[in-house]
């Protein structure tokens, strides 16, 4: 089985944008309201989009979450975020109900700038215990590019982590849109966040002493981290600490959303195979074909297959590690005889 641990519902039917537009237009008077999206619209948006891509690329199952760039935690206050995120998580649940063999839900969290992360616990719990989701996306920067929150190692995040550990779900570290014009959303803000959070963890590894079972996935191949592994490793050793592999890498995984062969080669050379999980982030940041190869940039399976991994290593990257990092996914698959 080939599990893609990173996919978003980027092909929302028009009713989603209509809801969000109306919500933003009336931010002073938040109400949950209704999101008008039919089952037929969802079916069409998935069958012509992510499901078609799964089939074309030979992958089986996608861990599926709300469109990341539209999480938009910075819009309005806490209630705006809560209503919007609840609706989009419900959409993911509807996709999963329609295509249970192909998509398993991962939730967005109703974060809001300056609001305690503890206020996201109720939605995390609802998604995991009632909707059957297996993980969450956690933004280290709900301000949208202005970085106003304390680092993810700060104790203000701890109540959320306690709930994640209790529910046995990991978080993918994932920002949303940037409203800071200095950053491009997927070109810089996403990769900045991946790199920034890794360094936060290097600086304060106490987090994983406090939560030995806390699990983070740093997407997009870990941002700049694999390329600059020597810098992080050296800084860490300069602080008199044990190797990063001992200090952090029992709690952190990187995905394979890296869109060229040399990048994948480097990722697999630098990062232990046990810390890598297959992902594409399709349909997402790069949608075109590489004119040099004729293949889609984000068809990352091609690059991994070109590594000629041993059968055991390929199993880890494509399935086995995901089943360990997402135990609720493993339980779900086992309950279906997979
Ligand atoms: Zn993503």
Q: Which residues contact 233 (CB under 8 A, 6 or more apart)?
A: 243, 244
Cα 288 to Cα 294: distance, rounded to the nearest angstrom = 10
- Residue 135 DSSP code: -
Closest to 56 (Cα-Cα) out of 302, 253, 249, 275: 302
Helical H segments across 153-252, by residue range: 158-167, 190-203, 206-210, 229-238, 244-247
Neighbouring C-beta atoms of residue 216, cutoff 10 Å: 23
10 CA distance to ligand 1 centroid (A)?
Answer: 10
On whether the CB atoms of residues 71 and 137 are closer than 8 A, the answer is yes
Question: pLDDT at position 285, please?
Answer: 86
The confidence score (pLDDT) of residue 284 equals 84
* CA geometry: angle 221, 223, 224, nearest 5 deg: 115
319 is catalytic: no
CA of 242 from ligand 1 middle (Å) equals 31
Of 236, 255, 256, residue with least CA distance to 247: 236
Instruction: Please say whether the beta carbons of 223 and 194 come within 8 A.
Output: yes
pLDDT at residue number 175 = 98
Angle at 121 between CA 171 and CA 196, to 5 degrees: 40
- Neighbouring residues of 259: CB distance < 8 A, sequence distance ≥ 6: 286, 297, 298, 300
Cβ 115 vs Cβ 78: under 8 Å: yes
C-alpha 228 to ligand 1 mean position (Å): 22
What digits encode the pLDDT tens for the residues 13-31?
999 999 999 999 999 899 9
Q: Which residues surround ligand 1, an ion (CB under 5 A)?
A: 68, 281
Q: Which pTM was predicted? A: 0.97
> What Å distances lie between residue 196 and 140, 193, 212, CA to CA?
9, 5, 21
Instruction: Quote the pLDDT of residue 249.
Output: 98
Phi, psi dihedrals of residue 81, rounded to the nearest 5°:
-65, -45
Distance CA 119, CA 81 (A): 11
Q: What is the pLDDT along the chain (338 residues), one digit of tens a residue?
A: 999 999 999 999 999 999 999 999 999 899 999 999 999 999 999 999 999 999 999 999 999 999 999 999 999 999 999 999 999 999 999 999 999 999 999 999 999 999 999 999 999 999 999 999 999 999 999 999 999 999 999 999 999 999 999 999 999 999 999 999 999 999 999 999 999 999 999 999 999 999 999 999 999 999 999 999 999 999 999 999 999 999 999 999 999 999 999 999 999 999 999 999 999 999 888 999 999 999 999 999 999 999 999 999 999 999 999 999 999 999 999 999 99
Q: Measured in angstroms, how far is the CA atom of residue 282 from the centroid of ligand 1?
A: 8
The angle at the Cα of 128, spanning 281 to 9, to the nearest 5 degrees, equals: 25
CA of 281 from ligand 1 middle (Å) equals: 5
Q: Where does the chain show beta strands of DSSP type E?
A: 3-9, 61-66, 103-105, 107-108, 136-138, 171-173, 216-218, 252-255, 276-277
- Quote the ligand 1 centre to 234 CA distance (angstroms): 29
Q: State in Å: Cα 3 to ligand 1 middle.
A: 15
Helices (H), 204-294: 206-210, 229-238, 244-247, 261-270
Expressed in angstroms and rounded, the spacing between residue 240 Cα and the centre of ligand 1 is: 34
Between the CA of 177 and the centroid of ligand 1 the distance, in Å, is 11
Supply the pLDDT for residue 208: 98
* pLDDT score of 81: 97
Residue 222: name the closest of 183, 248, 184 by CA.
248
Q: What is the pLDDT of residues 252-311, one digit of tens each?
A: 999 999 999 999 999 999 999 999 999 999 988 899 999 999 999 999 999 999 999 999
Which entry of 78, 281, 311, 319 is annotated as an active-site residue? 281
Evaluate the omega torsion of the peptide bond into residue 283 and state whether it is cis, within 30 degrees of 0.
yes
């Amino acid at each position: 089985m080939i599990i893609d641990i990173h996919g978003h519902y980027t092909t929302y039917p028009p009713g989603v944008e209509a809801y969000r537009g109306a919500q933003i237009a009336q931010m002073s008077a938040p109400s949950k309201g209704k999101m008008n999206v039919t089952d037929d619209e969802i079916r069409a948006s998935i069958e012509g989009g992510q499901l078609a891509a799964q089939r074309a690329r030979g992958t089986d199952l996608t861990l599926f979450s709300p469109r990341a760039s539209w999480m938009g935690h910075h819009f309005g206050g806490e209630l705006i975020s809560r209503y919007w995120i609840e609706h989009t998580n419900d959409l993911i649940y509807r996709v999963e109900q329609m295509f249970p063999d192909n998509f398993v839900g991962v939730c967005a969290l109703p974060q809001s700038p300056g609001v305690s992360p503890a206020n996201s616990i109720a939605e995390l719990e609802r998604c995991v215990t009632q909707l059957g989701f297996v993980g969450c996306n956690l933004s280290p920067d709900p301000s949208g590019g202005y970085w106003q929150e304390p680092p993810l190692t700060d104790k203000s995040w701890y109540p959320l982590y306690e709930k994640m550990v209790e529910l046995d779900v990991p978080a993918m570290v994932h920002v949303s849109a940037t409203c800071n014009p200095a950053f491009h959303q997927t070109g810089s803000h996403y990769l900045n966040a991946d790199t920034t959070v890794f360094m936060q963890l290097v600086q304060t590894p106490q987090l994983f002493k406090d939560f030995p079972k806390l699990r983070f996935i740093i997407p997009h191949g870990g941002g700049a981290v694999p390329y600059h592994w020597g810098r992080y490793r050296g800084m860490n050793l300069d602080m008199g600490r044990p190797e990063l592999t001992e200090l952090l890498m029992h709690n952190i995984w990187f995905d394979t959303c890296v869109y060229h062969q040399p990048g994948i080669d480097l990722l697999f050379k630098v990062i232990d195979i046990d810390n890598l999980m297959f992902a594409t982030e399709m349909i997402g940041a790069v949608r075109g074909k590489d004119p040099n190869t004729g293949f889609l940039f984000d068809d990352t399976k091609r690059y991994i297959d070109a590594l000629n991994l041993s059968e055991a290593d390929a199993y880890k990257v494509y399935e086995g590690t995901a089943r360990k990092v997402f135990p609720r996914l493993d339980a779900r698959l086992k309950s279906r005889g997979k």
